[in-house]
Structures are given as C-alpha cells and as structure tokens.
C-alpha cells in the first residue's frame, strides 16, 4: 500500500508541475501596466513602479483622513491597505472575479513553527489587522462591505469597529484573507515581492522534426480539440490538415487540391501583402464563424474600398505622399472579413470546406505605404474580443508618426467586439472603420476624438503575437525593429511601446518628420522584455526581422516548458526566454542550438554530416491542441520534439511518460475538462482522490 500512496503523491506533484497554476503579473486593477512615476510619492511609497498617479495618491490620503482612525498603529495598517491600490500587482491583490473588491487579499497563511517571526507576521497579516484594529473606530470602513454568508454581522450607520461588523477573527479573515499559494499573491502590509530562484538554466538544445513540405504563414488548431489544424499560405488559401501523433513517423495530412477556403481572387499577395491572419470564433463549434485578415487591391475589385489611413484626422494629406513603387497611396487595403463553415456539413466541426461567400466585411482601411501591415488576428482567451495587430503603415522612420498618434490606427493593436454590430449612424458618429462595436473597457472608448479601437500603441510592425495558454494575462508580441533592435513586448491595456520615440530600449531620432514629433517625456514608454541587436553574431543588420512565438506548454520537451520561444525571419538563430522570478514579467533570453531529429519523418538536415535543419525563412510559429509548437518556414513545417531525438540531454525527460498526450483523431465536443487550469486542477485532484479511495478500500 505504501508504494501505491507514493505513486499517487508523485502523480499529484507531476500534475502540479505541468499545470503551473500561477497567474500573477505586474498589472493594475484597470488592466494597465504599472509605470515609473515622474513625481515623488507624497502618500503611498511606491517610487519604483506604481499604479497610482499623483491625483490618486491625494485621493487615498483624503480617504484615510475621512476615516478618522484614532489609533496610530491601526491607522498605519489601514494606510498600507489603501495604498495596495498602487502596488504593481494590484490586479492580483484585488482579484475577485467580476465583483469589485475594496480590500486586497490579506495574507492569512498557516506556517511552520520554525519560521522566522517576521515571516510569521507577514503571513498572518490578516490576524495582525484584526488584533490591532478590532476595537478601533473607523469611519467609512472599507471592511464594512456586505459579504453574504461570510460571517458578517448585521450593520447599521453607527457600526465603526471590526467587532461591530464581524463576529470573530475567523469570520473576518475568511472574508478578507487568503494564502499566497500556487503562485498567487496576497498583501502583507508591504509592496509585493516575488522570490527569485536564481538565473534559470536554458535548455540544452531544441530538437525539430519535419512533418510537411508546404510553405505556410498561419497555423491555428481546430477548435474541436482534435489533432487537426488549419494552415494558410500568403497567397490566400486555407487548408484543414491532420497532424501526425508524436513519434509516429507520420507526416502532415494535407491535400492542397482540396482547400477549406480559397480567397486568392480577393487577396493581393506580395512581399508584405497577402492572407496575413485567420481566427476562429470562440463558439465556432456552435456558430461556424471564422475570420480572415488579408490585403486587397482596390484596382481589382469594388469590395476593396475603405477610408485611407492617411487623412485629415491625423494631419496627413494623401495627395502629398510620394507614390510608393508607382502605386497610388491607399490603393492597397487591409481587410478583416467574416466567413462561415455552416451549410457544408451537419455541424461546423465536421466541415471540410467553408462557404466561399463572405458573410460580412468587418474592417477595411487604406494603407499609405507598401510595408509594415502586420495583420494577425486573435481572439482574447478571457474576453472573447478580436485583437488585430497593425504596423505603422511603412515608410522609413514612420514619417507621419502614426504609431504615437492616438487618432490613427497605424502602429497599434486594436480590439473589436465582433458579436455586436453598429448601425450606420453609429459607425459615422464614432468614426468606425467597419461593421463592429467598441468594447466598453477599451482605453479610449469614451474619449472624444481618439481612436476607440486602440488597445495598445507605439508599435512598428508587430509580427506574430500569442496569449500564454496557461496564463492568458501574458500577451506577447514581437515587434520588428528598423536599424538596431528587434523586440518582444508584454502587451497590456493602453501600453505604449515607444516607437518611434524609441527603437527597443534606445532613443530613436527620425530623419524626417512631416507628421511632427513626440518627446520621450510626454509618454510612459514600456520597454521590451526580450530582444536582440542587429549587431549580434550571425545577424545581418539589414535583414534582421523578429518572428514571435509561444510560451511552450507541451509535455513533449519538459526542459522547455514555460519558456517563450522566438526566432528571426532570416538569421539562423532561435531564442528561448526564461522568466525570473516567475510571474514578475522579467525575462532573460538565450540563443539556443537546434538540430534535426535523426529519425525525422521527412529529412530536414543539410547533410549527414550537418544535422542543422535547412529552415530557410522562418515565417511564423503554430501551436496545436496538445500545446506542441511548430515552426512554419519557407522549406516546410517543423515540430519541436523530445530533446533526446537530437542527442540533447534533458534531465526531466523520462521514457515512462509519453512525449505528448495522444490527441483525439476525430472531431469531438468542446465539453469536458475546462481550459481554466484551476478547474482542471480541481477535476484532476478529485480524480486522484477517487483512485486513492478505491485503492485503500481494496
């Protein structure tokens, strides 16, 4: 029986490791990133990074004053609790789902007897608050909010003490306390700090196998959770393919003669034009809706006709633009269109072909130049809104300063609600660029004169973004540099990523400025969390162009788990970013060696004596339903596999655990285990308990 118990415990720990249930990230309660203040804190002592401006500091000071707390020790504790609003982790501290919380989660942990007194005090901060303030009068107390069923005593207008409001310390801390466990944060009276585990070790190397010869720009896992995925090329064709199981020796099953959807008649394809993004509605299995982002040429069709991004609203005159390679300004357009898989099968999950007719045009915008159009589209995993990545429109130095202009959509990440549509009057009144509505919490949704679609700004050409499947608050984008630096940015609400005031972490001086300049002191620039210089070894300064990737969440290569993988379009390099401390938003990146698996289904090495894969151009990354990561290149489709297949050493790799869970080979319902790691944790824990009980009874 002892062996069985040990097995259950081991399996439990393995599940905890791979679930990696941590969600903290330096974010303010309004989802914006904290910033370095340009003032000296007059009340709340958060001087490095903070979520409070000077006005918020004064508001909190007045709030404490209005409470008229007579006891100095209690007043000091209440002040620290109020100032938790300014903590860089305040979004985590005030977590409570969709219900506003007035008090941060107060640390209330049980700790061992050999812990230091300071640690005990920190972890029992909720008890400290109760013991210090229980009999102190606090007017307008933040602790008086009604919490049904949580032990709160009946309140009246004269209730000013904690003992008037709560029946016991236990009830009080049940309502306001929480443990700092499974990576989550609680407030202990001081700014939140995360424990560093030392400089993380990069993987020994990345092993790749080649499973397909086609050249694709996009890969999206089928929403049904099966081992199928959609691939699309730059010319405008989308295919539905079946991915071989790991270590099966199989190749990608994709019939190029039978496309899922062919848009080549609508798509204008050129160096930086084409079918640039595809995304499937979160409820695709119910409604069959999906979306394509592409470029079109208005000279070839009446449906390609939108407003020019160079217009009087942004102080740009299209007639004064120099014709770009002989093309009139805004001849080429950026488009998002909706399509459907309904009608071609009994249910969307069974559809092998989509309806070729466009359902509706979501967005159309004329482009002033022939470059920097980005074009990727993604649905937010938490909010269900459509995110649209757009570059600065092209032209050296972003001459019209579009990326910093909050009236322009160029150089931005946009966020649409595509489930609601606006009337023609609303479109004209709001100045929208198509058939969608503005999410009410977009940064400028209620600001007159600014582009209400904007979620983040200051980007040059965001080329491939992704949400971490385990921690959706981590929204990573790679942004292509100009002269010196390629960057990876951690995207937050209203985040300004600096271009063209900065290129990466460096101040940038434009050679031309017909659109005016922005000073460094007028913006709160957020600098890259990772990146590389064009002057690095093996980099061609004129050709460096970053390609963003994914946080690796597969169990196939456990030494790569939790690390962010990215590459360069042209150079022979792959980088891996490691976060330390975990959930801090601080990364160290390392250039990693990579090889071709000796047993790759399709030979992918230059020669027997040179195992390096012949990758050519690295267009993009993809992720399947098993969270395995793929590299889409000009020479084919590559999958990251077990390190040992390239003779790399990964001490976490074992032969007893399969390289990856076998995916379902046929369409299935989206019901089952929740994609929320906490729900999955509860389900798996319950399952393990049942196993243990059955084993014990036997």
What letter does residue 660 receive in the DSSP assignment? S
Q: CA gyration radius for the chain?
A: 27
Say if residue 500 is preceded by a cis peptide, omega within 30 of 0: yes
Is the pLDDT at 640 greater than 90? The verdict is yes
Q: Write down the number of H helices and E strands in the chain.
A: 11, 32
Per residue in 400-440, pLDDT tens?
A: 999 999 999 999 999 999 999 888 888 888 899 999 999 99
Q: What is the pLDDT of residue 256?
A: 95
Q: What is the pLDDT of residue 185?
A: 80
In the predicted model, what is the mean pLDDT of residues 267-288?
96
Per residue in 110-129, pLDDT tens?
A: 544 444 444 445 578 999 99
Handedness of CA 392, 393, 394, 395 (dihedral sign): negative
Percentage of the chain beyond pLDDT 90 is: 66
Three-state SS at 204 = coil
Q: What is the pLDDT of residue 609?
A: 64
Percentage of the chain beyond pLDDT 70 is: 83
Is the pLDDT at 85 greater than 80? The verdict is yes
In the predicted model, what is the mean pLDDT of residues 28-52?
87
Q: In sequence order, what E strands does 170-324 have?
A: 177-178, 206-212, 218-221, 228-232, 237-242, 261-262, 275-280, 289-297, 307-308
Give the burial class of 188: count Cβ atoms within 10 A of its Cβ; 0-12 exposed, 13-18 middle, 19 or more buried. Answer: buried
Q: What is the pLDDT of residue 252?
A: 98
Is the pLDDT at 675 greater than 50? The verdict is no
Q: Using alpha carbons, select from 298, 306, 230, 307 the residue that is nearest to residue 268.
A: 298
Q: For residues 524 and 404, what is the distance between their CA atoms, to the nearest angstrom?
A: 11
Q: For residues 72 and 70, what is the distance between their CA atoms, to the nearest angstrom?
A: 6
Per residue in 576-593, pLDDT tens?
A: 999 999 999 999 999 999
**pTM score, two decimals?**
0.88
Say if residues 125 and 189 touch (Cβ distance below 8 Å): yes
Q: For residues 414 and 71, what is the distance between their CA atoms, to the nearest angstrom?
A: 49
Is the pLDDT at 395 greater than 50? The verdict is yes
Give the burial class of 287: count Cβ atoms within 10 A of its Cβ; 0-12 exposed, 13-18 middle, 19 or more buried. Answer: middle
Mean pLDDT is lowest, of 64-73, 166-175, 387-396, 465-474, for: 166-175
In the predicted model, what is the mean pLDDT of residues 313-321?
88
Q: For residues 492 and 497, what is the distance between their CA atoms, to the nearest angstrom?
A: 10
Is the pLDDT at 668 greater than 90? The verdict is no
Q: For residues 341 and 569, what is the distance between their CA atoms, to the nearest angstrom?
A: 33
Give the burial class of 161: count Cβ atoms within 10 A of its Cβ; 0-12 exposed, 13-18 middle, 19 or more buried. Answer: middle
Q: What is the pLDDT of residue 673?
A: 31
Q: For residues 542 and 454, what is the distance between their CA atoms, to the nearest angstrom?
A: 31
Three-state SS at 530 = strand
In the predicted model, what is the mean pLDDT of residues 251-270?
97
CA of residue 680 relative to chain centroid, distance: 20
Q: For residues 161 and 134, what is the distance between their CA atoms, to the nearest angstrom?
A: 6
In the predicted model, what is the mean pLDDT of residues 48-73?
94
Say if residues 361 and 303 touch (Cβ distance below 8 Å): yes
Tokens of 25: 């990230």
Q: What is the pLDDT of residue 12?
A: 37
Q: What is the pLDDT of residue 96?
A: 60
Q: What is the pLDDT of residue 201?
A: 87
Domains in the chain: ranges and CATH: 1-21+668-698 (no CATH), 25-178 (no CATH), 206-646 (2.120.10.30)
Q: What is the pLDDT of residue 146?
A: 52
Beta-carbon contacts of 428 under 8 Å, excluding residues fewer than 6 positions away, are none
């Amino acid at each position: 029986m002892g062996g069985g118990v040990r097995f259950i415990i081991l399996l439990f720990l393995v599940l905890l490791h791979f679930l990696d249930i941590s969600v903290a990230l330096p974010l303010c309660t309004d989802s914006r990133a904290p910033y370095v203040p340009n003032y000296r804190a007059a009340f709340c002592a958060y001087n490095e990074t903070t979520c409070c401006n000077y006005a918020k500091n004064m508001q909190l000071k007045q709030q404490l004053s209005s409470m008229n707390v007579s006891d100095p020790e209690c007043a000091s504790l209440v002040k620290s609790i109020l100032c938790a609003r300014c903590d860089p982790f305040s979004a985590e501290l005030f977590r409570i789902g969709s219900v506003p919380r007035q008090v941060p989660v107060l640390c209330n942990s049980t700790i061992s007897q050999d812990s230091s007194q300071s640690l005990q005090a920190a972890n029992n901060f909720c008890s400290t608050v109760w013991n210090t303030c229980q009999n102190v009068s606090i007017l307008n107390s933040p602790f008086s909010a009604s919490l049904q069923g949580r032990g709160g005593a009946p309140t009246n207008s004269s209730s000013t003490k904690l003992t008037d409001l709560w029946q016991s310390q236990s009830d009080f801390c049940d309502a306001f306390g929480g443990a700092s466990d499974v990576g989550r944060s609680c407030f202990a009276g001081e700014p939140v700090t995360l424990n560093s585990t030392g400089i993380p070790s990069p993987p020994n190397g990345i092993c790749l196998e080649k499973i397909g010869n086609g050249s694709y720009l996009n890969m999206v896992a089928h929403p049904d959770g099966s081992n199928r995925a959609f691939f699309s090329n730059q010319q405008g064709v989308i295919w539905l393919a079946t991915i071989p199981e790991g270590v099966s020796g199989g190749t990608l099953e994709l019939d190029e003669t039978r496309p899922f959807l062919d848009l080549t008649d609508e798509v204008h394809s050129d160096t930086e034009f084409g079918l640039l993004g595809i995304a499937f509605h979160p409820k695709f299995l119910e409604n069959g809706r999906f979306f394509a982002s592409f470029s079109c040429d208005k000279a070839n069709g009446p449906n390609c006709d939108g407003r020019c991004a160079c217009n009087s609203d942004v102080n740009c005159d299209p007639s004064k633009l120099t014709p770009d390679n002989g093309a009139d300004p805004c001849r080429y357009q950026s488009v998002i269109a909706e399509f459907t898989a309904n009608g071609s099968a009994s249910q969307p999950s069974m559809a092998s072909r989509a309806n070729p007719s466009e359902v509706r045009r979501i967005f159309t915008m004329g482009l002033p130049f022939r470059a920097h159009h980005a074009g990727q589209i993604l649905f937010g995993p938490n909010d269900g809104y459509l995110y649209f990545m757009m570059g600065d429109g092209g032209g050296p130095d972003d001459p019209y300063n579009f990326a910093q202009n909050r009236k322009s959509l160029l150089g931005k990440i946009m966020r649409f609600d595509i489930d609601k549509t606006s009337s023609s009057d609303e479109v004209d009144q709001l100045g929208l660029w198509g058939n969608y509505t503005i999410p009410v919490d977009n940064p400028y949704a209620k600001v007159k004169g600014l582009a209400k679609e904007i979620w983040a700004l200051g980007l040059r050409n965001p080329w491939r973004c992704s949400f971490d499947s385990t921690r959706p608050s981590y929204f990573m984008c790679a942004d292509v540099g100009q002269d010196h630096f390629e960057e990876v940015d951690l995207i937050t609400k209203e985040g300004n990523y600096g271009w063209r005031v900065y290129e990466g972490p460096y101040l940038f001086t434009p050679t031309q400025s017909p659109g005016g300049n922005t000073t460094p002191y007028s913006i709160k620039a957020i600098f890259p969390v990772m990146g590389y210089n064009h002057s690095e070894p093996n980099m061609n300064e004129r050709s460096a162009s970053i390609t963003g990737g994914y946080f690796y969440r597969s169990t196939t290569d456990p030494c790569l788990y939790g690390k962010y993988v990215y590459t360069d379009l042209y150079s022979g390099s792959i980088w891996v970013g490691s976060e330390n401390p975990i959930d801090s938003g601080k990364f160290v990146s390392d250039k990693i060696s990579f090889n071709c698996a000796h047993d790759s289904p399709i030979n992918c090495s230059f020669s027997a004596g040179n195992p390096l894969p012949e990758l050519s151009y690295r267009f993009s990354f993809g992720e399947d339903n098993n969270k395995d990561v793929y590299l889409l290149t000009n020479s084919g489709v590559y999958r990251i596999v077990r390190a040992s297949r390239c003779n790399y050493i990964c001490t976490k790799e074992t032969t007893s655990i399969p390289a990856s869970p076998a995916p379902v080979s046929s369409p299935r319902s989206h019901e089952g285990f929740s994609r929320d790691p906490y729900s999955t944790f509860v389900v798996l824990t319950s399952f393990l308990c049942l196993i243990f009980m059955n084993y014990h009874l036997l």
